[in-house]
Every structure is written in structure tokens, then in C-alpha cells.
Amino acid sequence: MSSTFGSAYRVVTSGESHCKGVGAIVDGCPPGMELTEADIQPQLDRRRPGQSAVSTDRNESDQVVIQSGTENGKTLGTPISLFVPNKDQRPGDYSEMATIPRPSHADYTYQMKYGIRASSGGGRSSARETIGRVCAGAIAEKFLGDQFGIEIVAWVHSVSDIVSQVPDMTMINRSEVDQTIIRCPDLKAAAEMEALVMKTKEEKDSVGGVVSCVCRNVMTGLGEPVFDKLEAMLAQAMLSIPATKGFEIGSGFAGTRMKGSEHNDPFVLKGKRLGTITNNSGGIQGGISNGEPIIFRVAFKPPATIGLPQQTVDFEGKETTLEAKGRHDPCVVARAIPIVEGMAAIVLADCVLLQRRVF
């Protein structure tokens, strides 16, 4: 059941690129919480195509409607149904995909799995599917923020080999992130990234990047040991976002090159709780949050749909050349920021509700 995520804070998304609309049902949001569309729309706007020069030129307004689950601006504890109508549909842009599976896209595998696929090619693998996630994530984030002061901030860590420097990730906030359209708070790196993306767009090519995310003020005790370790749930959540190729927590892959005596995070008294001096653990030990900031990174590949001609074969195996005609993202990391934040919020809200007994 691929379209359901979470156990206590449960999200189901629905919708393809070119049906009546996309959306989600959130089941498990606590009752009595203030909630209107205005709490959700800002993150949707940050996800929106056409928002800046570094994203696709395809413009989608994407206005969310809360169809149920609230009354007088408060949640009822019942399922919250969210809907975003589809508007800017140009099926013509996709006609070539009827016969030629786009390399590194989902056309071929959907056809093999289901024996049928949406004419738009993307279907459920379309980036529009993430709209439901961003809506559900914004609600989760409001719950976490209002109740516990939890803050979640993601930013672009790197684009291709341009790597940003963020001196203090315990302080970084969304205003700093949104200072640049590439959403990188290191202004020098941001300028280089934007230049590279614009150049790549002109070349009808695409480029990848890495998103960093920090979750602050997370209480100790979140995450279920063994299979549902907090980092395991985050890993699933992040690798479920289209175009992701990797996930690392804390020291990550670089940590494999350290010695235990360097890597271990010694404990120290921080006010009334134990904290750690370093944070190679990334805020999680034994699958359970330890009260330190949760820090992780997600790798996004260069988008598969490019305007450059590609030598490939059609569904029959006949050699052909494909040139994607639609308007596509040369790089997805800037628009991926609210998706990464949303999925992190969904995971944390789920863990908080599973653990709620101890607060």
C-alpha cells in the first residue's frame, strides 16, 4: 500500500498529474489545534513550480482547500481531507512518452508493474504527488511547533560540486534560507549555484545536489528501537521522495573514516539533562532521539527529464532519439526544501504521538 505513510499520524496521498487534482487525508492529527489553509499555503508556495528562475517555467498556482476535519478553524481529531485542484495541464507536452519510455524516469517500470499508466507519463511518480506530502507536513509541523517548539529547517547543501558552508546549524532559519532563490544560506555558494543552474537550464541539461536538514528542540525518547528506529523512518521518508539517491544521518558516510575515539559523542551535563559535546550521532542513539539537534542530508540526482537529445529505445525496443519538450526543472533541490521539511515533520509527529505517553 504505497500511498499510506505513518502509524499514529497517518498520511494518504492521491492524485496524478492530469486528473482532477491531488491531495491527502491526514488521520491522527490531535483535536483542538488551530488550523486553516493559511497554515499550509506558505509551504505549498515554496514547493510551487514557476516560483523562480532556477525552477521550471511551468506555473502552477496550487491552492489548498481543507475539505473536512476542522470546524471554526480548529481540528476535530477526525481525518483532515486536503485537496489541490490540477490546473495547468498540457498533455500535448507528454505525447512522445506514449511510445518512448524516458530514460531514468518511471514510465517503463510503471508500465511493467501495472500494465497501464497515466498518459502524462509521470502518474504517481510525478512531482505533483508531493503536494499532498507538503500539505500533510505543514500540519505536522504546526503541531510540533505549537506544542513542543520543534523547529525544522532544510536548505541546499550543495549543487553539483559547489558545497556550501553553514557555520552554525543550531541557528539557521527559513528567512536565511529563502534569501536566495536556490535556498542556500551561504550567499557566496548560492550565487555560484544559481549561475550553474541557469547555465545548465540553457544547455537543456540538469544537475543534482544535496539537501541538509536540521530538527531542533526535539525531546529525548522519540523513535522505536529495532526496525522503526528514528533514522530508519527518516531514511524511508526521504528515499520515498522522487529523485533521491541517498540519505545520511549525523557523521554519515564521512563517519566511516573516523575512529571510535573520535566519533563517539561524550556526554556532558546541559542544564538538567545530559547532552553531548559533539554530535556525530546526529541527535539519535540506538534509534531514539537524544535531545540534540537531528541532522541529516539527502542526495537528489539530476532530474531525468532533459531537453537534450537522448539515444534510447522505444517500448518495442526500436532505437530512437528522445528530446523532452515540456518545461522541466534543471535542478530540484530548491523546490525540494519544503518536501524534505514536510516529510521530516510527518515522521516526527508520528513518533511524538506514538511516544506521547511519557510527556
State which of positions 195-214 bind its own copies (CB under 8 A). 200, 205-210
Distance CA 152, CA 352 (A): 15
115 near its own copies, judged by CB under 8 A? yes
Of 359, 289, 287, 349, whose CA–CA distance to 8 is shortest?
349
Distance CA 183, CA 175 (A): 9
Q: How far is the CB of 109 from its own copies (least distance, A)?
A: 4
Of 9, 69, 78, 17, whose CA–CA distance to 39 is shortest?
69
Applying CB under 8 A, the span of 24-32, 37-45, 50-58, 137-145 interacting with its own copies comes to 24-32
Distance CA 207, CA 233 (A): 27
User: Site mask, its own copies, residues 160-179, x = CB under 8 A?
Assistant: xx------------------
147 near its own copies, judged by CB under 8 A? no
Applying CB under 8 A, the span of 3-11, 38-46, 50-58, 174-182 interacting with its own copies comes to 3-11
Site for its own copies in 26-85 (CB under 8 A): 27-28, 30-32, 65-72, 74-81, 83
Q: How far is the CB of 176 from its own copies (least distance, A)?
A: 22
293 near its own copies, judged by CB under 8 A? no
Which residue in 64, 193, 214, 353 binds its own copies (CB under 8 A)? 353
Distance CA 137, CA 340 (A): 9
SS3 string of 148-184? HCCEEEEEEEEECCEECCCCCCCCCCHHHHCCCCCCC
Q: Amino acid letter at 179?
A: Q
Torsion of CA 130, 225, 215, 126, to 10 degrees: -10
Applying CB under 8 A, the span of 56-64, 111-119, 138-146, 164-172 interacting with its own copies comes to 111-119
- 138 or 235: CB nearest its own copies: 235
- 140 or 304: CB nearest its own copies: 304
Q: How far is the CB of 72 from its own copies (least distance, A)?
A: 8
Distance CA 359, CA 357 (A): 6
Site for its own copies in 232-291 (CB under 8 A): 232-240, 242, 244-253, 255-269, 274, 276, 280-282, 284-291
Characterise 33 by phi-psi region: left (phi > 0), alpha (psi -120 to 50), beta (else): beta
- 115 or 167: CB nearest its own copies: 115
155 near its own copies, judged by CB under 8 A? no
139 near its own copies, judged by CB under 8 A? no
> 195: Cβ–Cβ under 8 A, 6 or more apart, which residues?
none
